[in-house]
Amino acid sequence: MWGIRIIVALSAALSAPTIACADVITRLPTSENVIALTFDACEAGKPVAFDRALLDYLLDQRIPFTVFVTGRFVQTNTQDVTELSKLDFVEIENHSWNHPNNMDRLPLDVVRDEVTRGEAAITSAIGRKPQFFRFPAGNYNAAALAVVEGLGYKVVHWSWASGDPSPLESRDGLIRRVQTLTRPGQILIFHINGRGVHTAEALPVIVADLRKRGYRFAKLSDYLGAHPRGTAAQAHVVDRDREMLALKYFQQTAHAPRPSTAPAH
């Protein structure tokens, strides 16, 4: 009798729907002195643009970094995103369509729609499908995570919150937090859409300090996924030409009128 019950229980367990999720990634799989700088570029309300002081610093220093953009941000800043994607040291990834902070409570069809609409906007702008996804505000549940992974994404969050959107966070406070908390292999998060109140002021000091301590910087795909472009010699030459033109574009548009970078949400 017990044998029959066990067989029935096992059969029910095997036939029941399951949610198989990988862990949300919060660090690089390495103990090397390497840091992944990541930036969120979200837009949910009024149009916003890249924080050009911050972006221009990153481009001038050619620091590898990853940007998580929402589809609406791409819609507002299509050419900037397109040109940025031509730089070999930058990668553009998916941060949803409309930045809902409650994706852990949304119906799964809405979760899917947020991801796929964001993906469509990004793919149209940069010519490739993103490979990483970041939940807005880091909020998710097992079911939402399964939906995103089922769409082919690795979900990447951060090692600890920098707190750069807080109006109470000073430049020096942000610098001290990064200096104190940073460890090898960590993924740092900042905002590049104007929400980082003092990020543009603090980042040059942060980068100089980390480099002095022996750290280097990497894109997420250097350690977690496929590289967006091949390494053939001909493609390398094409990439260099594309990069030169893209950098020239940002130099020429440094002072062009843009949507406000004041915090939108």
In a domain, 13, yes or no: no
Domain limits at 131?
25-252
List pLDDT tens digits, range 94-144.
999 999 999 999 999 999 999 999 999 999 999 999 999 999 999 999 999
> For residue 198, which of 38, 53, 92 has the smallest C-alpha distance?
53
pTM for this predicted structure:
0.86
Average pLDDT over residues 27-48: 95
With both helix axes pointing from N to C terminus, report the angle between 108-126 and 142-150 in degrees, rounded to the nearest 10.
40
In a domain, 36, yes or no: yes
Q: Look at residue 1 and tell me whether its pLDDT is greater than 70.
A: no
In a domain, 77, yes or no: yes
In a domain, 174, yes or no: yes
In a domain, 201, yes or no: yes
In a domain, 64, yes or no: yes
In a domain, 219, yes or no: yes
In a domain, 11, yes or no: no
CA gap 238, 220 in Å, rounded:
23
CATH of the domain at 167: 3.20.20.370
Of 105-114, 152-161, 233-242, which gets the smallest average pLDDT?
Answer: 233-242
Q: Report the domain count for the chain.
A: 1
List pLDDT tens digits, range 196-229.
999 999 999 999 999 999 999 999 999 998 764 4
Q: Residue 156, class by beta-carbon neighbours within 10 Å (0-12 exposed, 13-18 middle, 19+ buried)?
A: buried
Going by pLDDT thresholds of 50, 70 and 90, the confidence category of residue 17 is very low
What's the pLDDT at 16? 33
Q: Which residue has the tokens 């499908």?
A: 129
CA gap 152, 129 in Å, rounded:
10
What's the pLDDT at 260? 57
CA gap 200, 184 in Å, rounded:
23
CA angle at 25 for the pair 20 and 27, rounded to the nearest 5°:
155
